[in-house]
Amino acid sequence: MSDAATMPAPAGPKPLQGGALVLLTIAVAFSTFMEILDMTIVNVAVPHIAGSLGVSASEGTWAISSYALASAIMQPLTGWLARRFGEVKTFCFSVGLFVVFSMLCGLASSMPMLVIFRLLQGAGSGPMVALSLSLLLSSYPKTKQGIALAMWAMTVVVAPIFGPILGGYLTDNFSWPWIFYINVPVGAAAGFVTCDLAPDLRTPI
């Protein structure tokens, strides 16, 4: 019998347990929540953004459509990126891009700058939703993957509802850049926790 026949099959990623699993779940859930939240949080701030940057309200809606367009373009590429670079590495890099360009969106001083930064923010967010589900399912034992799927689905459903509420509150009580700045600490923490706790879930290049 050949050596190849006697070699054991490579083991899959080991599910997490205890506090590590809880922390990873929170980090991935917040990443998903943040990405979907940004699809609706800008809606109520468009008049403020348009007035601040000296454009019409219709031009202000570019801040919404540019993000959605870039995210939609990147989502079909997620599978290839994850196979090429690994799921965790791709996820953390996407979160990093999302955080950086969220900050730049808040610092934008003109509408063209904001549209460009929103495009790049959306490009970073594209792989986050699909990979967040994959990471959760890989982290949980098979007997508890239904719980992971339910928590992920709840995040996806709740985030668009909170978007206009949170966007209106931040815009009225602070200023419109804060709808982007709020992503920075949340995204940075989520990305750090995911990269730290999920090294065994990386897909070989």
Q: Which domains does the chain have, with CATH numbers?
A: 17-201 (1.20.1250.20)
pLDDT tens digit sequence for 17-37:
667 788 888 888 888 899 889
Residue 142 sits at the vertex; the CA angle it makes with 138 and 87, to the nearest 5 degrees, is: 10
Q: What is the pTM of this model?
A: 0.85
pLDDT tens digit sequence for 43-84:
899 999 999 999 998 898 999 999 999 999 998 899 899 888
pLDDT for 16: 64
Query: 37 in helix, strand or coil?
Result: helix
In whole angstroms, what is the distance from residue 90 CA to residue 83 CA? 9
CB atoms within 10 A of CB 139: 25
- Joined together, the tokens standing for residue 145 give 């993957």
Residues 193/91, Cβ–Cβ less than 8 Å: no
pLDDT tens digit sequence for 117-161:
999 999 999 998 888 888 888 888 888 888 888 888 888 888 899
pLDDT tens digit sequence for 4-20:
444 444 455 566 666 77
Spatial CA neighbour of 131 closest among 97, 94, 186, 183: 94
Residues 23/197, Cβ–Cβ less than 8 Å: yes
In whole angstroms, what is the distance from residue 92 CA to residue 189 CA? 11
Spatial CA neighbour of 127 closest among 203, 15, 13, 46: 203
- Joined together, the tokens standing for residue 146 give 């239904």
pLDDT for 204: 47
> Which has the minimum average pLDDT: 84-88, 91-95, 200-204?
200-204
- Joined together, the tokens standing for residue 112 give 């063209």
